[in-house]
């Protein structure tokens, strides 16, 4: 298979973790006989310094031409002035908009060797925690009409049937490749937009008779994620509820350095990135955890290129080095020995 991939290293630890992600990609390329053509482009603070814009036109053009985009992270104290007109995160928002990404896909998984890092009791996560939150990204209250009226303020939650259908399809198709289970989260007892959400999801579910769909109210879902997380597999939800629930789910895993994400529009192209930021406090020290970036590559192989075996090879390699006790500082217990960014990357490549 031949694929074109745009690579954005970004700022802070971005270049360090992306170097390891690319190493894993090259290992897969060699082992499975694929060709991955990489084009490096700039975005974020480094692009502001060079081009005075967070997302240069040619970066967006290259990303639009690519089959997938791999991104490190952007931002840092140098560009943190909240009153500045040009800011690194504009690059990210404009890139997602430019690629018309309406679906945010965030897996949250507890790797058994790291179970102790979860803030939940082992008795609760003993049955495993491996879910994917599918969050609508371009609609809902974050994009609805808002304003001030005298001494009051308002924001509007609005969804159309087509917006709900296209995000629900992403969830159903992911569930089809997994455990055939979707929890659709809403607030249909109170909100009209949620009633339309539920009606639309239920209608669409008839096209996927082999998938079990459970409707759950968001307040209950927030509780159930802590009480009995093993009941979930694919969690489908709106922009605001997904924002909150995906952060809650990520905390259950115990480490931000382990979590990857994808943003997708229609078609197979996607943007793949770790959920963490540019970690300026540890940048340049060679101690950042590259696993989230490496797992972003695994998501790319699975979701955009449909290379399940290759994706699993990365996931298994990650599990294997964790089982053997290799840890970057962020996931190490107080008395555990730590391993640096580059060495973790090499160990994972060796086991792919
Ligand atoms: P952060 O995720 O960068 O860091 C939070 C904490 O987690 C820090 O202590 C950091 O050292 C640690 N951490 C994060 N990733 C790690 C990794 N891979 N390995 C080991 N430790 C890791 O969040 P923050 O400190 O709030 O933000 C720092 C900068 O990143 C800000 O400029 C922010 O705007 C930006 N940011 C960017 C993105 C993105 O590019 N998608 C996301 C969030 C924050």
Asked if residues 262 and 270 have their Cβ atoms less than 8 Å apart, the reply is yes
Q: Whose CA is nearest to atom 25 of ligand 1?
A: 279
301 belongs to a structural domain: yes
Task: Give me the chain's average pLDDT, please.
Answer: 95
> Which of 32, 40, 51, 142 is labelled catalytic?
142
Asked if residues 165 and 200 have their Cβ atoms less than 8 Å apart, the reply is yes
Q: Would you state the pLDDT for residue 334?
A: 85
Q: Based on the fold, state whether residues 110 and 133 are members of the same structural domain.
A: no
Q: Would you state the pLDDT for residue 175?
A: 96
Asked if residues 254 and 292 have their Cβ atoms less than 8 Å apart, the reply is no
Residues 6+ positions from 63 with CB-CB distance below 8 Å: 6, 8, 41, 69, 95, 98, 99, 271
Q: Would you state the pLDDT for residue 184?
A: 98
Whole-number CA gyration radius for the chain: 20
Q: Based on the fold, state whether residues 236 and 282 are members of the same structural domain.
A: no
Asked if residues 235 and 135 have their Cβ atoms less than 8 Å apart, the reply is no
Domain boundary among the residues 199, 223, 252 is at 252
Domain boundary among the residues 219, 252, 285 is at 252
| Integer angstrom CA distances of residue 178 from 7, 85, 173, 203 | 28, 43, 9, 21
Q: Based on the fold, state whether residues 96 and 152 are members of the same structural domain.
A: no
For residue 277, the CA-to-ligand 1 centroid distance in Å is 3
Residue 256, ligand 1, Cβ within 6 A: yes
Residues 6+ positions from 16 with CB-CB distance below 8 Å: 283, 284, 286, 288, 290, 341
Q: What are the structure tokens assigned to 201, written together?
A: 């999801």
The boundaries of the domain holding residue 286 are 1-118+266-352
CA distance 338 to 344: 10
Q: Considering the entire predicted model, what is its pTM? A: 0.93
- To test the ligand 1 pocket, which listed residue (257, 259, 277) has its Cβ within 8 A of the most ligand atoms? 277
12 belongs to a structural domain: yes
Residues 6+ positions from 240 with CB-CB distance below 8 Å: 140, 141, 142, 157
Residue 330, ligand 1, Cβ within 6 A: yes
Output the CA torsion sign for 202, 243, 231, 221: negative
Domain boundary among the residues 252, 278, 312 is at 252
Q: What are the structure tokens assigned to 282, written together?
A: 């540890």
126 belongs to a structural domain: yes
Q: Would you state the pLDDT for residue 106?
A: 95
Q: Whose CA is nearest to atom 42 of ligand 1?
A: 277
CA neighbor of 116 nearest in space, from 348, 334, 279, 341:
334
pLDDT tens track for 48-89: 999 999 999 999 999 999 999 999 999 999 999 888 999 999
Q: Would you state the pLDDT for residue 308?
A: 95
Which residue ranges of the chain lie beneath pLDDT 70?
Answer: none
Q: Based on the fold, state whether residues 127 and 180 are members of the same structural domain.
A: yes
Q: Would you state the pLDDT for residue 17?
A: 98
Query: The domain spanning residue 57 has which CATH number?
Result: 3.40.718.10
Q: Based on the fold, state whether residues 13 and 79 are members of the same structural domain.
A: yes
For residue 89, the CA-to-ligand 1 centroid distance in Å is 12
CA distance 75 to 41: 16
Residue 280, ligand 1, Cβ within 6 A: yes
Q: Whose CA is nearest to atom 5 of ligand 1?
A: 279
Pairing of strands 2-10, 181-186: unpaired
Q: Based on the fold, state whether residues 236 and 274 are members of the same structural domain.
A: no
Q: At what angle do helices 161-177 and 192-205 cross, to 10 degrees?
A: 50
HEC states along the chain? Answer: CEEEEEEEEECCCHHHHHHHHHHHHHHHHHHHCCEEEEEEECCCHHHHHHHCCCCCHHHHHHHHHCCEEEEEECCCHHHCCCCCCCCHHHHHHHHHHHCCCCEEEEEEECCHHHHHHCCCCHHHHCCCCEEEEEEECCCHHHCCCEEEECCEEEECCCCCHHHHHHHHHHHHHHHHHCCCEEEEEECCCCCHHHHHHHHHHHHHHCCCCCCEEEEEEHHHHHHHHHHCHHHCCEEEECHHHHHHHHHHHHHHHCCHHHCEEEEECCCCCEEEEECCCCCCCCCCCCCCCCHHHHHHHHHHHHHHCCCHHHHHHHHHHHHHHHHCCCCCHHHCCCCCCCCCHHHHHHHHHHHC
Q: Based on the fold, state whether residues 287 and 342 are members of the same structural domain.
A: yes
Q: What are the structure tokens assigned to 169, written together?
A: 């399809």
219 as an active site residue: the answer is yes
261 belongs to a structural domain: no
For residue 47, the CA-to-ligand 1 centroid distance in Å is 18
Q: Would you state the pLDDT for residue 82?
A: 82
> Which of 219, 306, 324, 350 is labelled catalytic?
219
Give the number of domains in the chain.
2
Q: Whose CA is nearest to atom 40 of ligand 1?
A: 73
For residue 175, the CA-to-ligand 1 centroid distance in Å is 30
pLDDT tens track for 139-188: 999 989 999 999 999 999 999 999 999 999 999 999 998 999 999 999 99
162 belongs to a structural domain: yes
């Amino acid at each position: 298979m031949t694929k074109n991939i745009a690579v954005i290293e970004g700022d802070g630890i971005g270049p360090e973790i992306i170097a390891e992600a690319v190493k894993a990609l090259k290992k897969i390329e060699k082992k499975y006989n694929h060709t991955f053509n990489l084009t490096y482009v700039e975005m974020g603070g480094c692009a502001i310094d060079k081009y005075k814009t967070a997302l240069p036109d040619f970066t967006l053009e290259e990303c639009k031409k690519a089959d997938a985009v791999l991104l490190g992270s952007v931002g840092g104290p140098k560009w943190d002035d909240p009153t500045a007109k040009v800011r690194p995160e504009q690059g990210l928002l404009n890139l997602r908009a430019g690629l018309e990404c309406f679906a945010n896909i965030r897996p949250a998984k507890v790797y058994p060797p790291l179970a102790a890092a979860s803030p939940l009791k082992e008795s609760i996560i003993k049955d495993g925690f491996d879910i994917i939150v599918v969050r609508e990204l371009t609609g809902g209250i974050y994009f609805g009409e808002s304003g001030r009226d005298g001494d009051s303020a308002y924001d509007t939650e609005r969804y159309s049937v087509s917006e709900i259908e296209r995000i629900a399809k992403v969830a159903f198709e992911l569930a089809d490749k997994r455990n055939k289970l979707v929890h659709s989260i809403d607030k249909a007892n109170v909100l009209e937009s949620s009633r339309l959400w539920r009606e639309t999801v239920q209608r669409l579910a008839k096209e996927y008779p082999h998938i079990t769909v459970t409707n759950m109210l968001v307040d209950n879902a927030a509780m159930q994620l802590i009480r009995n997380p093993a009941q979930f597999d694919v969690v489908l939800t709106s922009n605001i509820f997904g924002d909150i629930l995906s952060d809650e789910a990520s905390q259950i895993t115990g480490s931000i350095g382990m979590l990857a994400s994808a943003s997708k529009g229609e078609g197979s192209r996607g943007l793949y990135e770790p959920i963490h930021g540019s970690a300026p406090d540890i940048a340049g020290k060679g101690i950042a955890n590259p696993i989230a970036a490496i797992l972003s590559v695994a998501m790319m192989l699975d979701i955009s290129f449909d290379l399940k075996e290759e994706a699993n090879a990365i996931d298994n390699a990650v599990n294997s080095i964790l089982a053997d006790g290799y840890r970057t500082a962020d996931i190490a217990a107080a008395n555990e020995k730590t391993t640096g960014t580059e060495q973790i990357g090499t160990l994972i490549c060796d086991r792919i």
